[in-house]
Amino acid sequence: MIRINENFLKLQASYLFSTIAKRVNDFQSQNPETEIIKLGIGDATRALPAACIAALHSSVDEMAADTSFRGYGPEQGYPFLREKIAQHDFQARNVDIAADEIFISDGAKCDTGNFQEILSTDISFAVPDPVYPVYVDTNVMAGRTGEFENGRYQNITYLECTKENNFIPDLPRSPVDLIYLCFPNNPTGATISKADLAKWVDYARKNKSLILFDAAYEAFIQDEELPHSIYEIPGAKEVAVEFRSFSKTAGFTGTRCAFTVVPKACKAYDSKGAQQSLHALWNRRHSTKFNGVSYPVQRAAEAVYSEAGKKQVAEIIAYYMKNAARIRQEMDLLGLDCVGGRNSPYIWIDAKGDSWDLFDNLLNNAGVVCTPGAGFGTCGNQYIRLSAFNSFENVEKAMNRISRALKK
């Protein structure tokens, strides 16, 4: 008899996006003339940088001739891309990460989800609340949690991110083995200082824990003092793995390219307490289960680091940050408390009540779609997330409509 992995039955159906879609559809059918503006999405809307498009065209042409055709590439990624990443994203910031510590992949979603596979199933782990759901669900699938009760899974340490702690979670009271952190944060848009991040690195070193640091929104950081990488903290290489992506940086959400940094110095242990290499394990897992990102896409990612590419990426980020500033300006005028939007494309707004009530209010009275924070965890129940991923014209229109609707 073929049997299933029953851990999958513990997963909560994600009603969030289906419920949003249903309410939006109902509203649209009753108000066919209203042009709905979607500020709920976490998806890029600007076209790929011209430098990436040029690299795509020329690499596709290479594939068209036998003499320059490429078949299977290295599973870990082509050296041309790994070297550029090491140089521009790390060494240029005085962070000593080598090209062979970088694993190219088709997404930070997959990598943040898959990384737990090389860790024991009986470890304890902590996730932020509110949280990017991938960290939680993949651990549920792996059997690291109990049942779901009262909005939370048993056997997860939830790191509460609230107004009281400036959306930077406090260290867990009892030791945990694995910790997920995401800064700049999705969904809150909050950032972490070097001093606060150093506390987590110290904690991990003292407790022999591992930090999985999701830096997918690193490119949105404007404040010079904020760390772009956890490896800017001394000692982090021994206790942290970092995830990056070209998705939000350069609009690769549909093109697919990301990378994971597993330093050779990163420590983990077997059941006898002997040190084992996470780098070796991840290399084995990655090369067994993944066959590399396509050659043209890796060439497109490489172009992000060219002079033209850097300039074009900076323009895209600046465009979204102008949207974010406009959103924050309107929220401030309306007297709504919010975080984010200064070093991230998300603004996390205190709904002063149930997040679905504000969602309905904005939809019905302003024709604007947001994401109710309840979909990201218990600590999101009183918040909504607005995203800066849209055209400036639409953001401007949305802010004017929200202003009119909420001042009534």
Ligand X SMILES: *Cc1c(COP(=O)(O)O)cnc(C)c1O
What CA–CA distance (Å, rounded) separates 27 from 93?
A: 49
Provide the minimum distance between the beta carbon of 290 and ligand X in the complex, in angstroms, as a whole number: 13
CB atoms within 10 A of CB 109: 19
Residue 211 vs 399, nearer CB to ligand X? 211
Provide the minimum distance between the beta carbon of 407 and ligand X in the complex, in angstroms, as a whole number: 32
What CA–CA distance (Å, rounded) separates 49 from 263?
A: 30
Q: Any idea what DSSP says for residue 339?
A: E
Residue 107 vs 169, nearer CB to ligand X? 107
Looking at residue 374, its amino acid is A
What CA–CA distance (Å, rounded) separates 211 from 178?
A: 6
Q: Any idea what DSSP says for residue 214?
A: E
In 207-331, DSSP assigns E strands to 210-214, 240-245, 258-261, 267-269, 275-277
Residue 193 vs 253, nearer CB to ligand X? 253
Q: Supply 16's token pair.
A: 């969030």
Residue 219 vs 406, nearer CB to ligand X? 219
Provide the minimum distance between the beta carbon of 246 and ligand X in the complex, in angstroms, as a whole number: 7
What CA–CA distance (Å, rounded) separates 316 from 48?
A: 9
Q: Indicate the Cα dihedral angle 323, 325, 327, 333, nearest 10°.
A: -150
Tally of helices (H runs) and strands (E runs) in the chain = 13, 17
Please report, as ranges, the residues that interact with ligand X according to CB under 6 A.
42, 107-109, 132, 182, 186, 214, 216, 245, 247-248, 253, 258
Residue 39 vs 402, nearer CB to ligand X? 39
Provide the minimum distance between the beta carbon of 105 and ligand X in the complex, in angstroms, as a whole number: 8
Question: Which residues have C-beta within 8 Å of that of residue 313, sequence separation ≥ 6?
Answer: 49, 219, 249, 250, 304
Residue 90 vs 217, nearer CB to ligand X? 217
Provide the minimum distance between the beta carbon of 43 and ligand X in the complex, in angstroms, as a whole number: 8
Provide the minimum distance between the beta carbon of 395 and ligand X in the complex, in angstroms, as a whole number: 19
Provide the minimum distance between the beta carbon of 198 and ligand X in the complex, in angstroms, as a whole number: 22
What CA–CA distance (Å, rounded) separates 188 from 338?
A: 9
Provide the minimum distance between the beta carbon of 111 and ligand X in the complex, in angstroms, as a whole number: 8
What CA–CA distance (Å, rounded) separates 375 from 384?
A: 9
Query: What residue number has its CB nearest to ligand X?
Result: 107
